Amino acid sequence: MLRCRVNFEALRFTPQIEALGRKLISTLQRSGEFVVLHLRYEMDMLSFSGCTHGCSDKETEELTRMRYAYPWWKEKEIDSESKRLQGLCPLTPEEIALVLKALGFSKDTLIYIASGEIYGGERRLAALKAAYPNLVRKEKLLSSDELWPFQNHSTQMAALDYMVSIASNVFIPSYDGNMARVVEGHRRYSGFRKTILLDRTKLVELLDHFQGGSLSWDEFSAAVKEAHQYRMGQPTDRRAIPGRPKEEDYFYANPQECVGSSSMGRLRDVS
């Protein structure tokens, strides 16, 4: 389909973004395999979603004030814990550290954080850094002079993260926003590269049981692995609901037409 060729082959970033993105990828690949963690834990994300699990009372108040300051944002009163239990919140950095370990990623795994500024800064990343010391971001791999032209342009900074996400050995989004879905689809188009699609509803349940003491570590880890056995970006048919397009699976996350039924069949046989 022309739509597929345009989405994944014809469209390109500016030469400046492409060059810097390739430098990032080359730097990471020189260290071997690497994982991209799309960590959606920015202040605006938490404020407008109402997800405040793990935040202090002061932080919760700050996030709530930010939401109320925008008159166009209609959803004001939000029950954070209810949303979390429904899987509608991004996992916290502390939760992500436990999930990665449960999935079997070793302590020396090179992890690239694709995100804007993490809410709470280094303090909120402490547990993740302790579990995975080889944690890097573009700000660590590139000089301030190299990043300066893009510094005040969030979409251009995100474009760099997008390029790295496509090239990674494994891609793990902590939330299924637009970028995560498009990266998932692009990686499917590129040969069903490994993308771990976290089942947040199940994970929240398992995390609460583990942290509450009703699950041992071995039980927790086994349950996490079982829950994600078929959530690794393998070939799958996209759900279509006649007359209800808004409830269908997102084309950009699973561009089934772009790979063709014959390719889907062959890849199922070897996956």
pLDDT at 245: 66
Q: Residue 238's pLDDT band (boundaries 50, 70, 90)?
A: confident
Q: What digits encode the pLDDT tens for the residues 186-228?
A: 999 999 999 999 999 999 999 999 999 999 999 999 999 999 9
pLDDT at 141: 96
* Mean pLDDT for the chain overall: 91
Rounded CA separation 247/47 (Å): 25
Return the structure tokens found at 53: 């699990």
Q: What digits encode the pLDDT tens for the residues 108-161?
A: 999 999 998 999 999 999 999 999 999 999 999 999 999 999 988 999 999 999
Q: Residue range 60-75: average pLDDT?
A: 91
pLDDT at 246: 64
Percent of the chain surpassing pLDDT 90: 75
Domains of the chain: 20-41+90-235 (3.40.50)
Q: Residue range 156-170: average pLDDT?
A: 97
Q: Residue range 68-87: average pLDDT?
A: 91
Q: Residue range 18-36: average pLDDT?
A: 97
Q: 264 pLDDT exceeds 70?
A: no
* Of the candidate ranges 59-68, 158-167, 258-267, the one whose mean pLDDT is the lowest: 258-267
Q: Residue range 19-27: average pLDDT?
A: 97
Percent of the chain surpassing pLDDT 70: 94
Q: Residue 72's pLDDT band (boundaries 50, 70, 90)?
A: confident
Q: 170 pLDDT exceeds 50?
A: yes
Q: Residue range 77-95: average pLDDT?
A: 95
